[in-house]
Amino acid sequence: MRVLVTGHRGYIGTVLVPMVLASGHEVVGLDSDLFERCTFGDEPQAIPTLRKDIRDVEAGDLDGFEAVMHLAGLSNDPMGDFNPALTDEINYQASVRLARLAKEMGVTRFIFSSSCSNYGAAGDDLLDEEAAFNPVTPYGISKVRVEQDVMQLADDTFSPTFLRNATAYGVSPRLRFDLVLNNLVAWAFTTGQVFLKSDGTAWRPLVHIEDIACAFLAVLHAPLDLVHNKAFNVVPPNENYRIRDVADIVGETVPGSRVAYATGASTDQRCYKVDGSRLVRTLPDYKPAWNVRRGAAELYAAYQKVGLSLEEFEGPRYKRLAHLKQLIDRGYLDASLRWHVGVAG
C-alpha cells in the first residue's frame, strides 16, 4: 500500500514510519520540519518527503496514495494556548481540508491522530468512545472539531478512522520533554527530584509511542468495515494513573530521586480516565506491549546514555513551544509559523 504520513518528522511520526516500512508499505512523508534542530540521538529514518506546511497541501500531493496517516499539527495544550487562532487554522481547518482533498483524490483510508484530550475535564468515571466531549483547551477543541467534520465525509469510497491517543511517552528521535512521564524522569535524572507542578490528583491515561504506532498499523491492515468512520481510544488496559502515582513510579525507577511538589501546586482541570478496550476487541492483532513502569526504565536508560543535562532538558531544544518561540525570535519563522524564504525549503 502507498501511504502518506503527515508529521512524519515529529515525536510519533519518527517512530511510526520505520514500523510502516517494515510492514512492507511504500511510505512518503509530509512535514514542514519545524523541529529539525531537535533530534535526540540518531537522525530519523530518511524517506521520500514533501517538505511542506500542512496548510499548503494541494490535491496533486495526494495523488496515488491509498492511505493517509495524519499526525501533523501543533502538538499539545501549551502550544494551543499560545495562539488559539493558529491552533484552529493548523489543527482544525488544515486537517479538514486535507481530508477533503484526500477524498477528492481517491484516497480510501484516512487515519487521524486524535486525542483523549477530547474528554477534557471528566472526573473519575471510566470513559469509552461514546462519552461526551468536554475539551478544556484549544488543542482539545481542535481535535473534536476535526472528528465531527471529517465523519461527515465518510462514504463508500472514503473511510476515516479516529485514533484518540492517550498521553504519549517513550524515546523518539524527536523526543519531547513536555509530556508527563518523559518530563518527570528527566527531572529525576538531572536533579534528583521528581518535580510536580500540579498537586498530582488528576487522572491521565498513558500510552507508549510504539503502542500508538501499532494502533495505526492495526487500523491500516484492518478490514474497512471494522474501522469505517469509527473512533478508538488508544490506551492499554490498566494504564490510567493519577499523576502522583506516576511520580512514585519514577521515584522508584531513578535511584536516589524523591517526589517534590512546586510551591502552591494546584489541581489540573484536565482529568480523565479512558477505556481502551474497543480497539483490542475490534482488532485482536493489536497487542499493546508497554506500561508506565517499563517506559520509565526506557527513558532513564536513554537519558543515561546521552548524559542528559538540566540545561538541555529545560532549554528550548526539546520543548516544542519554547523552540518555536526561539525560531521566531531569531527570524527563522514568522508569527504564523511559516519558514522565512531562504531559511528552509
Provide the 10 A C-beta neighbour count for residue 289. 10
Q: From the options 3.40.50.720, 3.40.190.10, 3.40.50.300, 3.40.640.10, give the CATH code of 2-329.
A: 3.40.50.720
Q: Which is nearest to 344 in space by CA: 336, 334, 335, 332?
A: 332
Query: What's the grid cell of residue 71?
Result: 499526525
N residues, the chain: 345
Return phi, psi of residue 267, to 5°. -80, 135
Q: Strand, coil or helix: what is 126?
A: strand
Angle at 28 between CA 284 and CA 3, to 5 degrees: 35
Per-residue confidence band for 345, with pLDDT thresholds at 50, 70 and 90: very low
Residue 282: pLDDT above 60?
A: yes
CB 161 within 8 A of CB 112: yes
Radius of gyration of the chain (CA): 19
pLDDT in tens, 23-69: 999 999 999 999 999 899 889 999 999 999 999 999 999 999 999 99
> Dmax over Cα atoms in the chain, in whole Å?
58
Q: pLDDT tens across 178-233, in order? A: 899 999 999 999 999 999 988 899 999 999 999 999 999 999 999 999 999 999 99
pLDDT digits (tens, 9 = 90+) for 120-157: 877 788 999 999 999 988 999 999 999 999 999 999 99
pTM for the full predicted model: 0.95
For residue 252, what is its C-alpha cell? 522508584
